[in-house]
Amino acid sequence: MKPPMRIVAVAAVAFIVSGASAVFVLNPFGPSVVDPETARCDQPPVTLGAKRSMADHQEVDVHFTCEGAVQVATIYLPSTAGRHPALIWVHGAGEARRLPYVFPLFSKLVQSGIAVLSYDKRGVGDSEGVCCPGDEGHFNLLTADVVGAVSVLRSRSDIDPKQIGLFGASQAGWIAPRAAVEAHVAFLALASAPTVAERTANLYERLASGEQGQLSRAEISRRLKDGGSSGFDPLPYLRQLTVPGLWEFGTADQRTPVDESISILDSVKADGKDITVAIFPNAGHGLLDSPPTDPDAGPTMVRWILDHVDVPQ
């Protein structure tokens, strides 16, 4: 199943940020992407554009090079002075361009004193490289790009280097925890993001969609358990986290196995990790989409983030 573009224009602009599908499709001719395990982007070359003053914020375009491919981003900055906390948006599945300032989550955060960086996903829009390795279960380059974006923010005098976090949705669950560990960020906040192994989540999506007939949730759980864990597993990085994390889930999510993901987070939390889980009854996968499957998901994330940063007065 081919995911659509993340930004869809209708009568009013709607933002689809959670990814349409995480289904892993085996390529019978071998891997179609090159995703080296050695992929790193700790100190990328950076080119900054001129800062633009907008009505209620500032913007600056950025080019940074990771693994030989130039990635293009926009930083949305508060109009106020000082060294601001900052967030990097980690994309879901599919061909995702950078989200604009009018995306509700971004504008609310920036107006609250927090900078936000969003970039064209590798191989999409103005960014170079090949898209989309994550859709085939490969996350090394995508993780490196996030680490590179953290370095971009740390190079700026208007950003507090100790208050940089990651946020995102869906496929970001397999990217952000590892990037958080490698880049030593301050926190992460995710929505509809699986903590199970990648192909386990893909099996869940197929079962929940009715591909193999209408199954009860108990039967789906049994089949997931019998199938075991395979594909990229974020658990080792979840166990290495030393910073606060928020995970939001909707109980009607048919793409992320919510019960299994929460169980993993509970086990990590039992090890002393600072984990917060927010559950939204009867909400589907698009918790942060606009319109969202639950209108409280975005404000809940904003409040949690504001509780974990110090905004300059």
pLDDT digits (tens, 9 = 90+) for 174-183: 999 999 999 9
Euclidean distance between CA atoms 25 and 257, whole angstroms:
18
Q: What is the pLDDT of residue 21?
A: 47
pTM above threshold 0.85 = yes
Euclidean distance between CA atoms 171 and 16, whole angstroms:
13
Its sign, for the CA torsion 229, 211, 252, 23, is: positive
Strands 57-66 and 46-48: antiparallel
How does 176-190 read in b/e, with b if 16+ C-beta sit within 10 Å? Answer: bbbbbbbbebbbbbb
**What are the boundaries of each domain within the chain?**
7-21+42-306
End-to-end Cα, the chain, rounded Å:
48
Among candidate residues 73, 70, 71, the one with its CA nearest the CA of residue 62: 73
Q: Report the amino acid identity of residue 233.
A: D
115, 62 contact by CB (below 8 A): no
Euclidean distance between CA atoms 309 and 107, whole angstroms:
17
Helix (H) or strand (E) holding 269: helix 258-270
Euclidean distance between CA atoms 253 and 255, whole angstroms:
6
Give the mean pLDDT of 25-43: 72
Q: What is the pLDDT of residue 230?
A: 87
Q: What is the pLDDT of residues 69-118, one digit of tens each?
A: 999 999 999 999 999 999 999 999 999 999 999 999 999 999 999 999 99
Q: What is the pLDDT of residue 13?
A: 58
Give the burial class of 161: count Cβ atoms within 10 A of its Cβ; 0-12 exposed, 13-18 middle, 19 or more buried.
middle
Euclidean distance between CA atoms 255 and 277, whole angstroms:
18
CATH architecture for the domain at 7-21+42-306:
3-Layer(aba) Sandwich (3.40)
Phi-psi region of 68 (alpha: psi -120 to 50; beta: other; left: phi over 0): left
Radius of gyration of the chain (CA): 18
Q: If you count them, how many residues does the chain have?
A: 313
Q: What is the pLDDT of residues 127-160, one digit of tens each?
A: 999 999 999 999 999 999 999 999 999 999 999 9
Neighbours of 289 (CB within 10 A): 23
Give 195 or 31, the one with higher predicted confidence: 195
Give the burial class of 136: count Cβ atoms within 10 A of its Cβ; 0-12 exposed, 13-18 middle, 19 or more buried.
middle
165, 189 contact by CB (below 8 A): yes
Euclidean distance between CA atoms 30 and 71, whole angstroms:
27
Max Cα–Cα distance, the chain, nearest Å? 57
| pLDDT exceeds 90 at position 279 | yes
Predicted confidence band of residue 193 (pLDDT cuts 50, 70, 90): very high
C-alpha count within 13 angstroms, C-beta hemisphere, residue 297: 29
DSSP state of 86: E
ω into 41 cis (within 30 of 0):
no
Reduced to 3 states (helix: H, G, I; strand: E, B; else coil), residue 125 is: coil
Its sign, for the CA torsion 45, 38, 93, 300, is: negative
